[in-house]
Structure 1
Amino acid sequence: MTHLATERAAPALPRAARSPHQPLAIPAVRLGEGGVLGGWQRRNAEATIGHCVAQLESSGVLDNFRRVVGESGAPYRGFVFADSDLYKTIEAVAWEIARSGTDRWDAWLDDVIGLVARVQEPSGYVMTWIQGVHPEKRFAELHWTHEMYVAGHLIQAAVALDRAVGRDDLLRIATAFADLLDRRFGPGREEGVCGHPEIETALVELYRHTGVERYLALAQRMVDLRGRGLLKVGNLGATYFQDHAPVRQARDAVGHAVRQLYLNAGVTDVHLETGEPALLEAMQAQWDSAHHRKMYLTGAFGSRHRDEAFGDDYELPSDRAYAETCATIADVHWSWRMLLATGEPAAYAETIERELHNALAAAVGDDGTTFFYANPLQLRPDRFSEENAPRERRAWYSCACCPPNLARLLAQVSAYVATSTDDELALHLYADAEIDVPAHLGGGVLRVETSYPDDGAVRLRHDGDRPLRLALRVPSWSSRTVLDGAPAEADADGYLRVDLAGAATLELDLAPRWTRAHHRADALRGARAIEVGPRVYCVEQVDLPDDVALDDLVVDERAPLVRADGATVRTTAAVRPRADALYGPTEQDLSAGEVAVVAIPFARWGNRGSSAMRVWLPVV
């Protein structure tokens, strides 16, 4: 059977008309499989989603459900929140159906949704760790049991599936669980919040999808109660759970990075529906904290392995970066909602672009079936492997949150390419694509032809009956922007306006550039990185002569950077002699000679075996 996606097949659809930007449905933006994002999306469909489906079986996630209803005698396997791996995978399948109309997973969906239905209790409750292992802990240890976190992913999967294909069997399961949460924790009832935020954004989306206002009220209540000391924080401390201050007073991104960023997505969703200024004010301060003082150059977050946490301002060590994949995914969700909330999209869109083309692209191997959990910006030649920070990508993890999270994001990534306003179509991400123009803008199809970010040329063609008003984002790094052969400048909001009648070509400057870090970033002082367009570059040991160690290189930022064979950048570096003394005189002897250096996109590192790698290179 061929599926027809609904017009509401998109991950975030604000119900209140508070934003001038309206998302486009996933089927309305068809990424070309020859382009960078479209090729990645194709690999996600062909390899990553199927890999996740198989791993749900071999890792025990599905057996955890079966054992609750006596269909398996296997012991419980995985973390308390293992159910969420299934729900993320279902969401990935749903958005893939919306994208391509595939029926490949229909039978699998029948099986797993039927299994979840059998496990669900008449009350609406469904969580296998509680039901099958510790029933006495039901809603008793909200700081650690992740019950609402799991419910959030169930809700998001259910909404996605109904939007993608009009299938509501999982939605009935999810709304029954949401109704239980409302009866237990809704306004005027027991006070409680989840130790791992996620339920907030899910409840808002459930409200948007169903129109049932008590789901929005429950999300609002969860936001209002955080920071009231309701969680048993223990040795981890209140900041780990973002329970140290009320949301409207918390101005800094702190604690467990994924939790903070998921919370912020939910808070922004609540603002989008209620219009409360205090929430947006807090989110703008949080966004500045996370992105202007705590984000890695690659768009990653979390500088501390301990507690998977944000560090202090400018605490950004390259080799000990935790930089969890899920944190960047959470930030894509949040930044997109901030784009919708503020109506000032340039900075948010540029951040999403940085995240997609760097931290997230590097998190999955060329095979689409191996993954990094942590994403450091330096790998030492003798660094040991850790469970969630191995030297090489792994097929799965005992805490497997990242692979299915990547799968669901890639399946929905076309939803972040463009938005419409009352009078224009705004292009936020450049990718080879066909975009259905909304009827109120004249209809027709906008064809975007580009190999960006391998190339800076973006060719545009519209077949509508009247000129199409386009807002084209001009990235902050593009020092020279050309439209149809003539220099062009963006408006104050970072977008270049054009009335497209027929065809036009936008050219962005992809000249390689040296990048420095803020002087307070101690770990990066005296070092430079290479960037080309939105991409961050790195050097791997495998590209150096056998007798030259990567950690002995010293670069001169005056050295030319030359793009070669499309994606690589070539330059030269001096080589420090391998001195025996750990400490010595201040003079540096660089007499060991000079070597040619090949830098590759960070997105592509780690695909040629375990090799030392650096983004930030010491300077002379």
Structure 2
Amino acid sequence: MVLEHPLASAGARLEAVPVAPSAGRARGIGVGAVHLDPEGFWGRRQRVNASATLAHCREWMERLGWLDNFDRVAQGAPLDARTGWVFSDSEVYKLLEGMAWELGRSPDESLERSFAELVDRVARAQDDDGYLGTAFGHPGQAPRYSDLSMGHELYNMGHLVQAAVARARTGHPDDRLVEVARRAADHICREFGAGGREGVCGHAEIEVALAEAGRAFGERRYLEQADLFLTRRGRGTLPVPPLLSPEYFQDDVPVRDAGALRGHAVRALYLSAGAVDVAVDSGDDALLATLERQWENTLARRTYLTGGMGSRHQDEGFGEDWELPADRAYCETCAGVASIMFAWRLFLATGDVRYPDVIERTLFNVVATSPSADGRAFFYANPLHQREAGAPADDGVNTRAEGGVRAPWFEVSCCPTNVARTLASLASYLAAVDDEGLILLQYAAGEVATDGWRLRVASDYPDAGSLTVTIDEVPAAAPRLRLRIPAWADGATVAAADAPARAVAPGWYDLPSVAPGDVVILTLPHEPRLMFPDARIDAVRGSAAIERGPLVLCAESLDLPDGVALEDLRLLPLVPRAFADGARARAVVVEAPAGSAVLPYGSGIPTERPASTLDVTFVPYHRWAERGPSQMRVFVPLLSDTPTGVQERP
């Protein structure tokens, strides 16, 4: 059965977008519709991703033999020398997806040849019935689907399918990768469809992949299979390995009955993204409403200031409500990517401004934090407090995800390829269109050209708060321009058509009709501000953080005078002062009272004696550890004998 997509009717061309729901309040724009300023915040990162990160990822996969695994399967060679974890295949597929989006954004002959060569190696390893994997089902290996909990076979093929969607949507519907992925998807439907195997994959991902493949390839049975996987999960059918639980796999409670996201963070977020796809394309409003409530509860009680998700190291998972320790924050980079996937789908379905607000926070403070400036080293985990400076990363495989330094590669190296595919497809998340016009969702210097619109954005955002939008072309119909005023932007102003600037509140601001030649100036407040945690977050009670624009700031030991320890700082609750690259906050260095010889506790009310006063430099969190290993913290305790209300700077 063919899945009818409203945009596919009347010969309309589907945009090169990662997500194309069959219904909703808005749709994203194609990856080729935005040309970012190569020296702007996101343009610079996208350029480095294309010129360095994609090749870096492939070089490591060659170096470690992950690509050789496909060659050995194709040759029928013994697989006892297979390298990498069982999910290493997925990194190859995420790399292919990143390459496909990059080629759709900016065609390049050399990258095209590299892409085709890599697809050829993958294709030759596919079995006759469509199964594709290098860790199971071949001589000397365990049988197919013999370890659904931890084998990642469906997870791997899900990423293969997503790569094929990217290739098809960027103008290559008959590409060899598309053929390979469709054969794999058909195999999965035969094996796990009605009357077949009853299982689900221990790592959710196939759900979101099949739903999008159903849209891209016009196959409703792919959506139906995604719905079937979704319905089966949460019934305790997966075998549970030692030290884990059904919650880890989201197999403890059916999706429709859960109150918040739980368990392994990336698994939970991928599953939720796929559930939104199923809800929208099947018209299940009740499921969509449930997912909105889960997102709200998770954001309000289980999400860090940076937008990071996942507080537990043991299972890379969510903790309980208010369990948000700064120093033990896991906040995996991949969870940040998956959070954007979930929020983006909710935005397209509902048009609610809260979702792009959270996407902005996560992009600037998780995704942008992971890669080094040269695109060849990455953070896997993103804590908000580094107690000890990490050791410099060597050129080998990093076995610790939480080492406190960006590393060139990891034993489990899911984050570099996830960052790569996100940056390559970033344009699609920056703006959207609806029945009335264009919506600017994220602010980046560059040009947007889509659906009869052409406009230019000039700004040093997020390092500055002023943005100039110049309108060059508008469509004859639906000429409304909608701007997102971020939730943090109290005091924003908009000036348009030579009219005086007017104050605008956070949320949506509409210019009902714009014309070529119009210039719109959006000014967002750019003074630093103190942020106080909910008192139910035990780990950071009595402390404060600093934000400036969309950026979370942090203090690093590298900026402190000799002899001053980061743990001895106490903030005075005064409005911080801005400087070019961050903020300066007034703080004191304290001399703690002499502690007991047995325990660091006493029987009296604790007091702290200020020993000296200084201005502490706070820099954007996304830049921490760029100058070398350091101690770092986002939340700094307030001086115990000062009030907690914000005072004006004297």
TM-score range relative to shorter protein: over 0.9
> Partner amino acid for 1:513?
R
What residue in structure 2 maps to residue 601 of structure 1?
620
What residue in structure 2 maps to residue 536 of structure 1?
552
Task: Tell me by how many angstroms 1:451 deviates.
Answer: 1.4
Task: Tell me by how many angstroms 1:563 deviates.
Answer: 1.2
Moved more, 59-68 or 212-221: 59-68
Q: Residue 448 in 1 paired to residue 464 in 2? A: no
Describe how 1:68-467 pairs up with structure 2 within 5 A.
68-70=73-75, 75-132=81-138, 135-166=141-172, 168-235=175-242, 236-344=244-352, 346-381=353-388, 387-438=400-451, 443-464=452-473
Moved more, 207-216 or 97-106: 97-106
* Alpha-carbon distance between aligned partners in 1 of 2:610 and 2:139, rounded to the nearest angstrom: 65
Tell me the TM-score normalized by structure 1: 0.94
* Alpha-carbon distance between aligned partners in 1 of 2:637 and 2:462, rounded to the nearest angstrom: 26
Matched pairs, number: 605
* Alpha-carbon distance between aligned partners in 2 of 1:81 and 1:133, rounded to the nearest angstrom: 19
Task: Tell me by how many angstroms 1:7 deviates.
Answer: 5.2
Task: Tell me by how many angstroms 1:608 deviates.
Answer: 1.2
Moved more, 29-38 or 423-432: 29-38
What residue in structure 1 maps to residue 481 of structure 2?
470
* Alpha-carbon distance between aligned partners in 1 of 2:547 and 2:102, rounded to the nearest angstrom: 32
Distance 1:11 1:382, change over 3 A: closer
Task: Tell me by how many angstroms 1:63 deviates.
Answer: 1.2
Task: Tell me by how many angstroms 1:107 deviates.
Answer: 2.0
- Check the 8 A contact 2:566/2:631 in 1, yes or no: yes
Q: Residue 613 in 1 paired to residue 632 in 2? A: yes
- Check the 8 A contact 2:592/2:609 in 1, yes or no: no
- Check the 8 A contact 1:92/1:409 in 2, yes or no: yes
- Check the 8 A contact 1:472/1:496 in 2, yes or no: yes
> Partner amino acid for 2:405?
E
State the secondary structure of the residue aligned to 2:142. helix
Task: Tell me by how many angstroms 1:590 deviates.
Answer: 2.7
State the secondary structure of the residue aligned to 2:447. strand
Moved more, 405-414 or 282-291: 282-291
Distance 1:496 1:525, change over 3 A: farther
- Check the 8 A contact 2:390/2:629 in 1, yes or no: no
State the secondary structure of the residue aligned to 2:181. helix
Once the two structures are superposed, residues 28-81 of structure 1 have per-residue CA deviations (whole angstroms, 9 ceiling, x without a partner) of 122221211111111111111111111110122101112223387882111101
Task: Tell me by how many angstroms 1:277 deviates.
Answer: 1.5
Task: Tell me by how many angstroms 1:215 deviates.
Answer: 0.7
Which of 53, 61, 79 aligns to 1:48? It is 53
Distance 1:86 1:564, change over 3 A: same
State the secondary structure of the residue aligned to 1:460. strand
State the secondary structure of the residue aligned to 1:488. strand
Structure 1 unaligned blocks of 5 or more: 1-5
State the secondary structure of the residue aligned to 2:489. coil
- Check the 8 A contact 1:490/1:496 in 2, yes or no: no
Once the two structures are superposed, residues 438-463 of structure 1 have per-residue CA deviations (whole angstroms, 9 ceiling, x without a partner) of 1xxxx241111111111111111112
- Check the 8 A contact 1:437/1:446 in 2, yes or no: no
Task: Tell me by how many angstroms 1:588 deviates.
Answer: 2.5
Q: Residue 31 in 1 paired to residue 45 in 2? A: no
Task: Tell me by how many angstroms 1:437 deviates.
Answer: 3.6
Task: Tell me by how many angstroms 1:343 deviates.
Answer: 2.3
Q: What is the aligned-residue RMSD (CA, Å)?
A: 1.9
Task: Tell me by how many angstroms 1:382 deviates.
Answer: 6.3
* Alpha-carbon distance between aligned partners in 2 of 1:406 and 1:133, rounded to the nearest angstrom: 34
Moved more, 314-323 or 166-175: 166-175
Tell me the TM-score normalized by structure 2: 0.90
> Partner amino acid for 2:582?
T
> Partner amino acid for 2:448?
I
What residue in structure 2 maps to residue 518 of structure 1?
534
Q: Residue 570 in 1 paired to residue 584 in 2? A: yes
* Alpha-carbon distance between aligned partners in 2 of 1:108 and 1:100, rounded to the nearest angstrom: 15
* Alpha-carbon distance between aligned partners in 2 of 1:208 and 1:490, rounded to the nearest angstrom: 37
> Partner amino acid for 1:447?
R
Moved more, 467-476 or 608-617: 467-476
Task: Tell me by how many angstroms 1:105 deviates.
Answer: 1.5
Percent of counterpart pairs with the same letter? 41
What residue in structure 2 maps to residue 3 of structure 1?
none
Moved more, 130-139 or 261-270: 130-139
What residue in structure 1 maps to residue 26 of structure 2?
21
Task: Tell me by how many angstroms 1:412 deviates.
Answer: 0.4
Moved more, 470-479 or 102-111: 102-111
* Alpha-carbon distance between aligned partners in 2 of 1:337 and 1:133, rounded to the nearest angstrom: 41
> Partner amino acid for 2:607?
Q
* Alpha-carbon distance between aligned partners in 2 of 1:382 and 1:342, rounded to the nearest angstrom: 43
Which of 485, 495, 504 aligns to 1:489? It is 504
Distance 1:243 1:508, change over 3 A: same
* Alpha-carbon distance between aligned partners in 2 of 1:402 and 1:222, rounded to the nearest angstrom: 25
Task: Tell me by how many angstroms 1:490 deviates.
Answer: 4.4
* Alpha-carbon distance between aligned partners in 2 of 1:356 and 1:476, rounded to the nearest angstrom: 15
Which of 62, 69, 72 aligns to 2:67? It is 62
- Check the 8 A contact 2:533/2:540 in 1, yes or no: yes
State the secondary structure of the residue aligned to 1:592. strand
* Alpha-carbon distance between aligned partners in 1 of 2:592 and 2:55, rounded to the nearest angstrom: 47
State the secondary structure of the residue aligned to 2:585. strand
Structure 2 unaligned blocks of 5 or more: 1-12, 392-397, 640-650
- Check the 8 A contact 1:489/1:496 in 2, yes or no: no
Moved more, 530-539 or 377-386: 377-386
* Alpha-carbon distance between aligned partners in 2 of 1:136 and 1:340, rounded to the nearest angstrom: 42
State the secondary structure of the residue aligned to 1:119. coil
